[in-house]
Structure 1
Amino acid sequence: MKLSMNQATCLEKSSLEKDLELCEKYGYDMIEPRTMDGIPNYLKNHTIDELAAWFKSHKVKPLAFNTLCFFNNRTPEDYQKVLQELRQMCEWGKKIGCKTIITVPTVDLKKVTRQEIHKSAVKCLKEMGEIAAEYGMRISVEFIGHPAASINTFGEAWSVIEDVDMDNVGITLDCFHFHGMGSKLEDLAKADGKKIFIVHLNDTEDFPIGSLLDEDRVWPGDGCIDLDAIFQTLKKIGWQEDVVSLELFRPEYYKMDPEDVYRIGKEKSEAVIKRNF
């Protein structure tokens, strides 16, 4: 099982250049570059061709772009901006060898029915999937385990993916978000493991379902999520991606030396991985 680092884990004290260096130093296999800040900041002093050359000459590889935000139930104008961002990521992906784009559903919709959300998500993802396919790319939908998110459980996300029915459109299963709104292992057990494109590894403090925030994330194994049950279910349904990605948004971890975050993150992640694979 390979281990990836999501750039969000060292958000305040690092950079894409530093993260790449630390991934290599501490034996991470892959990285999730952030498209909101990581890559744009890198491109202030470098070119995308330089980043492509780095990946070609090093063991560490790009796992997925994180993140194309708020794709469903948008105004026509805002949705066109989403598609522009998608094409930009696809161009970057073609250059650096990154095959997957993570996208998240819109939050804070006002009085929109579940049926309208589902219909919009399916329509948008079909179009996004067709664009991505032109570049040999995949779209991976990350449901958000919070009441404000328009798609906030695995079951809802899987229903959308089933109706989209495209080989290059699947799901990002973030363990924190799976727990956050009480997603059910029974729903995961009914899914096709080949459509689980990305798995984010993390844990959380034991706050009530529906009240958790990203800042409540903790090292894998230090919280209340039944990570073993999630991974054992993934194995049963034929999940085949062979990589998990550490993603934390813990304010205390942002204050730490990034070297310590990478070292501890590797130790905590490998303990969970070794129990299950």
Structure 2
Amino acid sequence: MNAIDPRLSINQATIKHADLATALRVTAEAGVPAIGLWREPVNEVGLDVAASMLADSGLRFSTYCRGGFFTVPEGPVRRAAIDDNRRAIEETATLAAAGAPGSKAILVLVAGGLPDGSRDLAGARGRVRDALGELAPDAAAAGVTLAIEPLHPMYVSDRAVVSTLGQALDIAADFDASVVGATVDTFHVFWDPQVLDQIERAGREGRIATYQVCDWKTPLAADVLLSRHYPGDGVIDFASLTRAVEATGYAGDVEVEIFNADVWATDPRVAVQRTAAGFQAAVSPYLRVPVAG
């Protein structure tokens, strides 16, 4: 295999069925310098143990997935979601402190879908903004950036009422850029006719918290959540998107995040190697800025 790109990070979702110890080990053994972690595997072992394991791995910590899911109206369910996001902020800060130099305290947020029985997208998006208003002081105090992730419109009813990068930036505009930013995920934004303009806007406003990549091809899986592919295996134009992100001066890690049953069934060591090879061919040629320390 060619040399591993120093900007590459493996998002733990790509090797979903690997426990935390295995995910850290196969990522480090492959020579990949960074990893993005998910809350469930971290909480399985406990935050302090997870932080120690991350420190021992020598890997950078690129993001933490995920927070959000706060579109429901006021009540016990919403209060529980806000409290859970406060815990996620604390976890993000702890893990970022444990990672190798260059680690970032970035909590990826998925807004949540329409509440049961609702058709009010504008109201749901307003509640996302309201939730960020409650959480921003906690994030600022912890040194954590909340990264709103727009999801492809096919997820608008059940997962994310924020469907475009422009919508994410409009919501983030009420907050300091160091506290609320956006996730640019190629799978979710590549289709948008305005995406290049919105990437430029995000860079101008200092709001690109993380850049995530994977590919799109049809037919989609029966469960459309599991329709992501290795970079280079589908139709996404990584050249234009990556050049646009790079032109903003973004110098962070670039995560590969794949939800795909076949990838998950692959030996995690092999999946990491295959991810690195696809990244090297499809994304690396367009990365010019070295990772920021």
Give the TM-score normalised by structure 2. 0.83
2: distance between equivalents of 1:20 and 1:58? Answer: 6
Q: 1-side partners of 2:218 and 2:177: how far apart?
A: 36
Distance apart, 1:92 and its partner CA: 2.4
SS at match of 1:245: strand
**Superposition deviation, residue 234 in structure 1:** 1.1
The Cα offsets for residues 129-183 of structure 1, whole Å up to 9 and x where unpaired, read as 1111121111111111124231111111111112334421100111101136666
**Pick aligned residue for 1:111 from 111, 115, 119:** 119
Q: What stretches of structure 1 of length at least 5 have no aligned partner?
A: none
Is the Cα–Cα contact under 8 Å of residues 203 and 221 in structure 1 kept in the other structure? yes
> Following the alignment from structure 1 to structure 2, what is the Cα–Cα distance between the partners of residues 195 and 84?
25
User: In structure 2, what is the Cα distance between the partners aligned to 1:207 and 1:165?
Assistant: 40
5+ long unaligned stretches in structure 2: 1-5, 98-103, 288-293
Alignment-derived partner of residue 3 in structure 1: 8
* Alignment of structure 1 residues 1-277 onto 2, 5 Å: 1-12=6-17, 14-35=18-39, 37-43=40-46, 48-96=47-95, 97=97, 99-109=105-115, 110-114=118-122, 116-145=123-152, 146=154, 147-148=156-157, 149-179=160-190, 184-192=195-203, 194-206=206-218, 213-241=224-252, 243-277=253-287
- Report the residue type matching 1:3 in the other structure: L
In structure 2, C-alpha distance between the alignment counterparts of 1:57 and 1:212, rounded to whole Å:
36
Cα shift at 1:108: 3.3
User: Percent identity between the aligned chains?
Assistant: 20
How far is 1:90 from its partner?
2.8
* CA-CA distance at 1:225 after TM superposition: 0.9
CA distance in 2, matches of 1:254, 1:175: 20
Contact 1:17 1:42 in 2 (8 A): no
Q: Deviations over 1:226-245 (max 9, x none)?
A: 1111111112223232x111
Q: Secondary structure at the match of 1:158?
A: helix
Instruction: Name the SS of the counterpart of 1:171 in structure 2.
Output: strand
Helix, strand or coil: the match of 2:119? coil
> Could you tell me how far 1:185 is from its partner in structure 2?
2.0
User: Moved runs in structure 1, 4+ residues, more than 4 A?
Assistant: 180-183
Which letter does structure 1 place at the counterpart of 2:76?
E
* 60-69 or 70-79: bigger deviation: 70-79
User: Does the CA contact (< 8 Å) of 2:66 and 2:88 recur in 1?
Assistant: no
State the number of aligned residues. 267
Q: Tell me how large the CA RMSD over aligned residues is.
A: 2.3
- CA 1:39–1:150: 2 relative to 1, 3 Å: same
Query: Aligned partner of 2:9: which letter?
Result: S
| 1:190 counterpart SS class | helix
Q: Secondary structure at the residue paired with 2:178? A: coil
The 2-side partners of 1:182 and 1:42 are apart by: 43
Q: Residue 203 of structure 1 aligns to which amino acid in structure 2?
A: D
AA paired with 1:227?
Answer: F
Alignment partners' CA distance in 2, 1:118 and 1:150: 6
* Mapped partners of 1:212, 1:192: distance in 2: 33
